[in-house]
Structures are given as C-alpha cells and as structure tokens.
C-alpha cells in the first residue's frame, strides 16, 4: 500500500524508505517516522482494540500520553506488549501486531462486550462476581483473566541486556522543548553541569510540531541550533530517548534511556535500555503540556484525535490523518490546528467551536456556538453529528476529527513528592502546587505558561534562579522573538447530549456514564472515583482523561474543580519494563554464590551442593556405586563415628574482638559469662535479643587476655556483627573494644572422630595431645612447618573433634592435605547432611530450633542465662510467660516402631487425643535417619517436654497424612555423657 496520506514537509528523511509490517501487512515509511505516523501515512487508522469493550481504536495522540494505539512490537523473544505506536521509532524490518483482538483486528469476537455494555458498567466486577464466593477462584477469575489484559508476553527469556548507571549534575532539565532548551542554554553557557533529558528521539518538544517562528528561524530550526550549541558545551550532557520517570528524595531522579529501542537489535555490547539514577542539586521540570479532549457520544472512533496531535502529525511527520478533516475546539489553540492543516492543503471541512464570540477563521467553515454530539463509522470515522447554535443538527462527512479541550500542564513529576497540583481558572488546568522540594521548579507549559515566548522567558528565568543558588553569576540574555498568544479558552468537558457513551479514559473504557454511576452510588471522592471506575488506572495513568473525570464529578456534586480535588501522580511517568528495573541483576548476577575454600576440591569429587544463604556448601559427597543420597550420608556418618571425618565449616561467621574491655563486652552481649574464660580456652555462648528470645549461638575462644574470636551461625553472620557494632557504638561508647569480621579471612575445617587427633597431629607442628590441648582448648598454632593457623578443640558432632583454620588462600591446599593425611585412617569428607545427622544425634540446636521464637529455657539451656550480670535480653528473659513450666522444651523423639519414618513439622498429640488445635503439644523441628541407631530420630519442642521423657505420644502430620506413635526421649541420643569428645 502506498503512503496515501503523506503530505508535504515534516522532519522525515524522504530520501530513504523503511519497510515494516503491521498484522502481517507490509508498509513503507521514512526515517523520522513513528509507527503511528507511518501507519496513518499509509491510511491505517485502526490500530487496536479497547480493554473492556474491544472497541476499534486508533491513535488519540502523537506522543507518550497515548491510551489507544498499543501494539505488540517485534516478535519471538523480543516481543514487547503494550507499546505505544506513537512513540515507537520506525526501523527497517520492524514488525508490529495489534493486540486484544481475536481472530483479527477488523473482526474481534469479544466486541460482543460492546453490545453488553449495560452490564459492564463501573463496579461491574464488584457487583457481578460477588457470589457464590466459591466460584471466584475457580470460575470467575480464570474467565476474567482470559478476557481481560492487553498484549501478551513472549514467555521466552529476554535476550537483551539492561544496564544501570549513575550521573551527577548541578541541574537536571526535564524536557527539551523551548523552555528546557532555553534553560539549558542559560545554565550551560554559565558553566553549570547540566543534564538535559527528553523522552523524544528528536529534541525540541512542541517546536518540532508547530509552524511558529523563533527569532528569524522556524521553531524546529531554532531548536536544532540550540541542541547543536549545547552539544558543543563540555559541561552539558544531552540525553534524548530518555524519560525521567520519577523524582525521589534529595534530588535523586530516575530516568530510562532507550538506548537501542530504535534499532532491530542492540549493537554489540550495548544494552537495550539503561536505568539512570541522576543525582542533581537542582532540577527544572520543563515537560510541557498534554492536550485533553472534549467528551461526546462515540468520541472514541479511529480518526478522532487530539487537535494538537492532528497538527503534529501534519507538521512534524507530513501526514494528514484523513482527507476530510474537521476540528472541534473550546479554545484558540484548536483553531491553529485548522489553520495549519488548511495551509498544508488538507480539506478542512468545518471547525466546530463551542464558543459564541471571537473572530471567524478565514476560508474555513467556522461554526460557532456549535458542538459535536455524535460520530459514525464502524472501524473508522465516517461522519460527525454537529448541533449548531440554532439547535439544528447536521451530519458532516469527515474521516478525521481533531478535538481540543485545552492543555494540561505536565505536573506529573512535580507531584511525585506529594505536592498537590493547584487549579488555575484562567487556563482551566492544574499547575504544579506548593509543598514540593525547593530544588525542583517548573518552567514553560509545565508551569502553566503556555505560549512559546512564555516558555523561553521562564526557561531562562528559572535557570537564572538555579545559577544564583549555585553561586554562579549570569545575566539574562536577549530572548528570540516568539508568539505570545493568550489561551482564550472556554471550559467545556463533555457535550450534554444523548444517552450513549462518551469516553474519558479510552484505554480502560471509562465513560461519562460510569462517572455518573459512581456519583449515584456515592463514590464521589476522587480517590473512590478512580478506583470504582478505574479512571486513570490504565498504562497511560489518565494523562488525557483524569481532569475531565474530575470536572464531571465536580459538576455532579455541585462543587468547583479545586474543591473536588485531584489525584496526584506517582512514578513512573510512563511505563517501565521490568527488565529495565532489574538491570543486570538477573540470575547469578542477582544472587551470586559465595564459594567455600574447598569448593574446587569438592567439585572434583562430584559433591552435591546446597544453597545456604548465598553460600554453596557440599551437601554430601557420593562415591562410586552410590545411587541414593542416604547411602552417601549413612556412610559419611558411620565412617566419621568409626574413624574420622572432615567438613568445611568456613561459612560460620567469625568475628575478631579485641580491646581491654573485650571480656566485659562479651559478658554484655552473651547471656552467659566470658570474662572468666581462661586464655587458650573456648566456650559455647548463647546470644539473646533484647526481648529475651534466643538470637544466635556459637563458640567464642579467648586467644589472648584482650583478644577473642567469636563464631556465629552461618545465617546470622551479618546481623550479629551489626548488632555487636550497635552495642559497642550506641550502648557502651567508651568500652575499649574493636571488631572485625574475619569470616572470609579464614578457611576453617572440622576434623571429627576417634582418629581426629592422630590425623591432625600429622599436620599441626605443635603437640596437640589431650594434655597439651585439652577439650575446649583454643590457640594459635602452625601447620605444615610454619603456616599460621588457629586450632579449636570443639565438637558439633559429639566426637573428639577440632576445628582448624588457615588463611583462606591456603584453604584449597588444606583440604587436600587433610584428605591426604587422613588416607591411612579411611577419613571421609562429609557435607551438611552428615553434619545435620550428627548434631541431631547429639541434641545440638541449629536453625530449625533457633527460629526467633524460642527462649533459652525452650532449648533446655535456661541455666546459661546469668542473672548476676546485665546482658542483652537478660531482663526480659525473666518474664513470667517465658518461664512457664508447661512451656515448650527441647526433646528427642524416636518412633516406637523403628521402621516408621518421621516428618519434621509433625505435631505432638497424646495417644487417643483428637487432632485439634487445643490438643496440640508442639512440633518436630528436625528429623534425620540415624544410621548409628538404625532408626529415624527427631528433635522437637514439646509442651512440658522435660517432664514427659519416656512417654509415648503421636507425631501427626496432616500434609502427608501420617500418624506415628513415638517415644519422647532425651535429645542426647548419642554419647550423653560426652565421653567421646573428651577422649
């Protein structure tokens, strides 16, 4: 198809042709075109279907405020739904498809919804699908979800990269129209660091769409010259294709740069989009204004668009939206559209002006005191019905209509700080209100100054305000001469005629009737209006429709518009892709793994890994022939208990604590006492939160008089360190105590089992006999003939055990050395599963028991809380409710029939008791199969558990429907006297 509606002029490169397809049909356009301008040039007005009624739709606007012309752009993994055709830059090979229609755009089966519109009024969902309640999830929601929604996702991995960046400047200028360019010139020439951002690919704003002169040049040429000068200034950064989407605290703005959206695929190494975080001392909002329509019956047909957009398509893109055009306006700016189109040779058949007075347009049929009351045409506009001032109705054949109801300053960004826009009656629009941050000011149309001269003047003036605040001197320069026409508007929000539907939010299909219904049902506050009708809740955030809805509500309630109020805008200004917000934080880059020092070795052994926080730890290390994880784990447990096993325990948090008050400090942060600990010894410590619950546990060693090494659980390494810093700085600021996290500094291995000492003695240079290095001993040693190391004789497994730490860079060498030295003892390396089996056999608490809701008493460690000294949580741990004798106590659990498996999470019930909440006795926290005992065993919290040792109960699990008779036993299943670990 040829470009039948292409007319002369415009900022497109006619020497080059660009091929693209829409719904499979090939078309041609030119560089500089948007998808919308190119489709209109090819005579295509129908571009989409509305959300609810599936009404045929074409573009309402020529910019980012577009509610109607939403398409799916590109195909395959790059398919992007809900793209506004009015801002999609044309490139060769672009493919676009219409959405929200089936089987085709021209014939859409769900257009039946339009016939059923009396059912689909405001609050439809709330009213219709209320009952039966059981139907909601299974019946109503799936149907609604299938019918609703606009575009569809590709459901494929996005092949493109997205980036994030940080920028700093003195002045961020949002919008590069006449106000923004003048502000940038003023501040840039004065030497300030300026960022000028504009969402368009071509800077100049409205100047590109107008025939106005600026100085002795066409507006667009003046803009191009200004951009060229700015580009030559090293202190100015020009960012086109960049939308400032949000204003945040303290001069932080977010901006989305569409780096590659205008290309078929991003250039190598380039992201598709970049999310910029801009730190700016000052900002000027110069984002211009958005035109709004006047609502009348059937005002949503393709071909009916904003008058200023009709003009923009003609002036900037050389496109007439139709060959018989009319304009419906309540202000002088609408007349300009008629004049510009006429000057381009387009047949302007009528101007329908609701105002009675004023000058007649020469050479055009100018109907004053008239209104458009209806339109005709199924898939595109064919005619309009006009009610003349005499009351006579006339049908006029047109295929394009420009509508102007006035211009709304873009207050969006300035209201992100909750500053409420203020009503200005003279321009019948909201302007930025007070209450925003001082360093965000507005200029030009965004401030309600709607003439070109006004834009240039305020752009310069506001830049001078900023320069003065920055302490830079600058004088006002002579401004180029530009039009300074008054607004001359007579507010008209909707045409009072007929009973049909008149759209105010075309994307969400909100009509005047819906607003009236909301009012009738008493949803008359603006916030209720919005939510009840969904006005302004579509992807365009109601940029064209919100003020009309507000005005209608004001009329219905007999209040003024400012009395009725306004909803404020929230970020983002225009929709932002999820991929852009994620940036490079995808997959591994979102959650990188922390690898233990033995990781390489464990990988070589074919270890199975488990994620522990960000850590990857070996879970078990299968040997040849082992097909089930239990075979590996049982082997590891038995081999360790029989001879010796090695485990990487580097992930435990390590904190070096030094200073003359280090001992006293530990007494305050641990519930038990550490100041009395002898040098060269370690002790198990219990740390409480201030509310008396257990926070963390671990062993802490005294390496010197004023030097301790604390270990924390893997999960709490960061939070314990933060807490200790808090205690040190905020609670006891004069204590001489210094902290440093050494978790990453030391590779630490547990060596456990009857042969642990024999194995380690081959590596440690000093004597580690029981006499020289007794149970709970700790100290600095050397290994392998001189390498510094730390040795702790501590046991989590219940065996004779040590933990040996070497500087991390020797971690890989150390695991290899340990394995080599252990070969003669058939040493095994075990993973976290075996660690878990042995700690449960020994009755040690871990993450499942340290659940943030447990007290020391619950864990059977109540006596550890010293009342002789003040410590964090000591006072609150004394509360009566936390010392209930019938409260939870840690117990061991065995199935009466050893063949029965237990499930963690099962609940304790007395035998014969009904499985109801009132009879709940507690729950199983941790469960393992103990190869040593040949049975499943578990730990659990049982009410009054210490009084119930030996009792038979049931472990009931409703999820896997098990009900198993169990015996309550001591949690110390293995070597309860601790003879092995002292061996």
Which residues of this protein are in contact with another protein, per CB under 8 A?
248-252, 279, 417, 661, 664, 690-691, 718, 722, 725-726, 729-735, 869-872, 874-876, 878-879
Instruction: For another protein, give the closer residue by CB, 520 or 660.
Output: 660
State how far the Cα of 562 lies from the Cα of 421, in Å rounded to an integer: 9
Instruction: For another protein, give the closer residue by CB, 130 or 252.
Output: 252
Cβ(598)–Cβ(811) under 8 Å?
Answer: yes
Instruction: For another protein, give the closer residue by CB, 394 or 744.
Output: 744
- We find the least distance from the C-beta atom of residue 873 to another protein, in angstroms, to be 8
Secondary structure E strands in 873-975: 888-895, 907-910, 922-930, 935-943, 952-957, 962-969
State how far the Cα of 564 lies from the Cα of 532, in Å rounded to an integer: 16
Distances (CA, A) of 856 to 448, 666, 684, 814, 969: 66, 17, 13, 36, 19
- We find the least distance from the C-beta atom of residue 410 to another protein, in angstroms, to be 23
Instruction: For another protein, give the closer residue by CB, 368 or 869.
Output: 869
Q: Maximum Cα–Cα distance for the chain, whole Å?
A: 115
Cβ(459)–Cβ(182) under 8 Å?
Answer: yes
- We find the least distance from the C-beta atom of residue 747 to another protein, in angstroms, to be 24
Instruction: For another protein, give the closer residue by CB, 631 or 741.
Output: 741
- We find the least distance from the C-beta atom of residue 709 to another protein, in angstroms, to be 19
Indicate if the alpha-carbon torsion angle 38, 39, 45, 49 is positive or negative: negative
Q: Minimal CA–CA distance to 819: which of 809, 808, 830?
A: 830
- We find the least distance from the C-beta atom of residue 870 to another protein, in angstroms, to be 4
Helix (H) or strand (E) holding 194: strand 194-197
Instruction: For another protein, give the closer residue by CB, 583 or 971.
Output: 583
Q: Minimal CA–CA distance to 285: which of 205, 209, 208?
A: 205
Instruction: For another protein, give the closer residue by CB, 378 or 867.
Output: 867
Cβ(386)–Cβ(540) under 8 Å?
Answer: no
- We find the least distance from the C-beta atom of residue 661 to another protein, in angstroms, to be 7
* Residue 511 CA neighbour count, 13 Å, CB half: 21
Give 149's contacts (C-beta < 8 A, 6+ positions apart).
100
- We find the least distance from the C-beta atom of residue 650 to another protein, in angstroms, to be 22
Phi, psi of 729 (to 5 degrees): -90, -40
DSSP H helices in 175-275: 178-189, 219-232
Pairing of strands 18-22, 94-98: parallel
Instruction: For another protein, give the closer residue by CB, 210 or 667.
Output: 667
- We find the least distance from the C-beta atom of residue 413 to another protein, in angstroms, to be 17
- We find the least distance from the C-beta atom of residue 144 to another protein, in angstroms, to be 39
- We find the least distance from the C-beta atom of residue 744 to another protein, in angstroms, to be 15
Distances (CA, A) of 885 to 829, 908, 942: 42, 18, 12
Instruction: For another protein, give the closer residue by CB, 252 or 395.
Output: 252
- We find the least distance from the C-beta atom of residue 883 to another protein, in angstroms, to be 13
Cβ(552)–Cβ(494) under 8 Å?
Answer: yes
Overall residue count recorded for the chain in this entry: 983
Instruction: For another protein, give the closer residue by CB, 668 or 936.
Output: 668
Burial of 525 (0-12, 13-18, 19+ CB in 10 A): middle
State how far the Cα of 84 lies from the Cα of 543, in Å rounded to an integer: 14
One DSSP character per residue, 373-413 reads EEEE-SSS--EEEEE-TTS-EEEEE-SEEEEE--EEE--TG
Strand order, beta sheet including 608-612 = 594-595, 615-620, 608-612
Instruction: For another protein, give the closer residue by CB, 425 or 875.
Output: 875
Cβ(209)–Cβ(312) under 8 Å?
Answer: yes
Instruction: For another protein, give the closer residue by CB, 551 or 872.
Output: 872
Instruction: For another protein, give the closer residue by CB, 216 or 249.
Output: 249
- We find the least distance from the C-beta atom of residue 723 to another protein, in angstroms, to be 10
State how far the Cα of 370 lies from the Cα of 856, in Å rounded to an integer: 83
Instruction: For another protein, give the closer residue by CB, 207 or 874.
Output: 874
Instruction: For another protein, give the closer residue by CB, 725 or 826.
Output: 725
Instruction: For another protein, give the closer residue by CB, 150 or 657.
Output: 657
Instruction: For another protein, give the closer residue by CB, 135 or 726.
Output: 726
- We find the least distance from the C-beta atom of residue 418 to another protein, in angstroms, to be 9
One DSSP character per residue, 737-768 reads -EEEE-TTTEEEEEEESTTHHHHHHTTBSS--
CB count within 10 Å of CB 698 equals 22
Distances (CA, A) of 24 to 18, 19, 288: 15, 12, 36
Cβ(703)–Cβ(679) under 8 Å?
Answer: yes
Secondary structure E strands in 63-161: 70-73, 80-84, 94-98
- We find the least distance from the C-beta atom of residue 716 to another protein, in angstroms, to be 14
- We find the least distance from the C-beta atom of residue 568 to another protein, in angstroms, to be 15
Instruction: Determine the Cα angle at 668 with ends 662 and 672, to 5°.
Output: 100
Instruction: For another protein, give the closer residue by CB, 338 or 671.
Output: 671
- We find the least distance from the C-beta atom of residue 874 to another protein, in angstroms, to be 5
One DSSP character per residue, 311-358 reads HHHHHHH-B-S-SEEEEEESBHHHHHHHHHHHHTT-EEEEEEES-S-S
- We find the least distance from the C-beta atom of residue 867 to another protein, in angstroms, to be 8
- We find the least distance from the C-beta atom of residue 368 to another protein, in angstroms, to be 49
Dihedral angle computed from the Cα positions of residues 871, 872, 874 and 877, in that order, rounded to the nearest 10 degrees: -170
Instruction: Please list the residues that pair with 276 across neighbouring strands.
Output: 165, 255
């Amino acid at each position: 198809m040829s470009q039948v509606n292409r007319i002369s002029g415009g900022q497109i490169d006619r020497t080059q042709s660009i091929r693209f397809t829409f719904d499979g049909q090939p078309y041609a356009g030119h560089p500089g075109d948007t998808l919308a301008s190119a489709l209109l040039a090819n005579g295509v007005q129908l571009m989409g279907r509305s959300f609810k009624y599936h009404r045929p739709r074409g573009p309402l606007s020529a910019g980012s405020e577009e509610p109607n012309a939403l398409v799916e752009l590109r195909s395959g993994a790059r398919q992007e739904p809900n793209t506004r055709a009015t801002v999609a830059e044309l490139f060769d090979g672009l493919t676009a498809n219409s959405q929200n229609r089936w089987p085709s755009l021209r014939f859409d089966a769900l257009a039946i919804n339009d016939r059923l519109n009396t059912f689909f009024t405001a609050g439809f969902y709330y009213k219709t699908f209320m009952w039966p309640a059981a139907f909601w999830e299974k019946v109503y929601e799936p149907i609604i979800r299938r019918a609703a929604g606009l575009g569809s996702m590709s459901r494929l991995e996005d092949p493109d990269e997205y980036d994030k960046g940080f920028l700093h400047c003195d002045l961020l200028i949002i919008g590069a129209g006449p106000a923004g360019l003048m502000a940038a010139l003023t501040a840039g020439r004065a030497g300030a660091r300026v960022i000028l951002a504009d969402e368009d690919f071509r800077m100049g704003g409205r100047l590109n769409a107008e025939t106005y002169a600026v100085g002795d040049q066409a507006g667009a040429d003046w803009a191009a010259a200004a951009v060229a000068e700015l580009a030559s200034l090293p202190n100015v950064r020009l960012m086109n294709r960049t939308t400032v989407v949000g204003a945040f605290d303290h001069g932080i703005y977010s901006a989305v740069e569409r780096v590659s959206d205008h290309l078929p695929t991003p250039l190598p190494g380039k992201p598709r989009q970049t999310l910029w975080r801009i730190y700016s001392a000052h900002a000027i909002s110069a984002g211009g204004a958005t035109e709004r329509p006047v609502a009348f019956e059937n005002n949503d047909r393709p071909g009916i668009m904003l008058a200023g957009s009709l003009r923009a398509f003609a002036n900037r893109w050389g496109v007439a939206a139709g060959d018989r055009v009319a304009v419906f306006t309540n202000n002088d700016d609408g007349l300009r559209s008629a004049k510009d189109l006429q000057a381009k040779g387009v047949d302007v058949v009528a101007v329908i002006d609701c105002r009675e007075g004023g000058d007649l347009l020469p050479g055009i049929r100018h109907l004053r005191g008239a209104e458009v009351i209806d339109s005709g045409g199924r898939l595109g506009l064919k005619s309009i019905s006009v009610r003349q001032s005499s009351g006579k109705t006339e049908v006029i054949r047109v295929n394009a209509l420009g509508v102007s109801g006035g211009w709304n300053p873009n207050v969006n960004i300035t209201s992100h700080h909750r500053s409420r826009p203020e009503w200005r009656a003279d321009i019948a629009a909201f302007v930025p209100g007070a209450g925003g941050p001082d360093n965000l000011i507005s200029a030009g149309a965004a401030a309600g100054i709607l003439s070109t001269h006004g834009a240039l003047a305020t752009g310069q003036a506001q830049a001078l305000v900023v320069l003065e605040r920055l302490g830079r001197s600058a004088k006002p320069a002579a401004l180029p001469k530009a039009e300074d026409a008054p607004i001359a508007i007579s507010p008209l929000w909707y045409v009072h005629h007929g009973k049909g539907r008149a759209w105010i939010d075309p994307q969400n299909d909100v009509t005047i009737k819906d607003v009236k219904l909301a009012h009738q049902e008493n949803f008359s506050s603006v916030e209720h209006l919005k939510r009840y009708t969904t006005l302004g809740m579509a992807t365009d955030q109601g940029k064209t429709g919100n003020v009309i809805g507000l005005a209608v509500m004001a009329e219905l309630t007999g209040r003024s518009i400012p009395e009725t109020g306004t909803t404020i805008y929230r970020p983002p200004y225009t929709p932002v892709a999820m991929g852009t917000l994620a940036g490079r934080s995808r997959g591994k880059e979102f959650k990188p793994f922390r690898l233990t020092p033995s990781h390489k070795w464990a990988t070589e052994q074919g270890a199975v890994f488990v994620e522990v926080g960000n850590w990857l730890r070996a879970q078990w290390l299968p040997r040849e022939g082992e097909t089930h994880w239990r075979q590996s784990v049982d082997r590891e447990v038995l081999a360790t208990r029989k001879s010796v096993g090695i485990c990487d325990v580097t992930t435990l948090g390590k904190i070096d604590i030094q200073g003359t008050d280090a001992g006293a400090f530990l007494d305050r942060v641990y519930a038990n006492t550490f100041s009395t600990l002898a040098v060269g010894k370690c002790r198990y410590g219990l740390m409480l939160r201030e509310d008396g619950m257990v926070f963390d546990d671990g062993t802490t060693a005294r390496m010197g008089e004023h030097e301790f090494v604390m270990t924390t659980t893997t999960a709490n390494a960061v939070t314990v360190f933060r807490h200790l810093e808090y205690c040190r700085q905020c609670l006891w600021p004069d204590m001489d105590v210094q902290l440093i996290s050494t978790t990453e500094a030391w590779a630490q291995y547990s060596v456990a089992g009857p042969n642990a000492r024999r194995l380690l003695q081959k590596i440690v240079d000093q004597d580690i006999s029981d006499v020289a290095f007794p149970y709970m001993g700790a100290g600095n040693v050397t290994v392998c003939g001189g390498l510094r190391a730390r040795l702790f004789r501590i046991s989590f497994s219940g065996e004779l055990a040590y933990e040996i730490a070497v500087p991390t860079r020797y971690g890989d060498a150390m695991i290899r050395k340990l394995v080599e030295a252990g070969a003669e003892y058939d040493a095994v390396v075990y993973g976290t599963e075996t660690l878990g089996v042995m700690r449960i056999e020994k009755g040690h608490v871990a993450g499942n028991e340290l659940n943030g809701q447990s007290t020391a008493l619950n864990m059977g460690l109540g006596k550890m809380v010293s009342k002789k000294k003040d410590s964090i949580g000591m006072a609150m741990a004394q509360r009566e409710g936390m010392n209930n004798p019938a409260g939870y106590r840690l117990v061991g659990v065995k199935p009466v029939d050893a063949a029965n498996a237990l499930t963690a999470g099962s609940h304790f019930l007395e035998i014969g008791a009904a499985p109801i909440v009132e009879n709940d006795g507690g729950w199983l926290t941790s469960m393992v199969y103990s190869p040593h005992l040949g049975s499943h065993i578990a730990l659990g919290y049982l009410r009054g558990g210490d009084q119930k040792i030996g009792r038979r109960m049931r472990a009931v699990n409703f999820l896997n429907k098990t009900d198993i008779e169990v015996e309550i036993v001591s949690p110390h299943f293995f070597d309860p006297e601790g003879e092995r670990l002292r061996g």
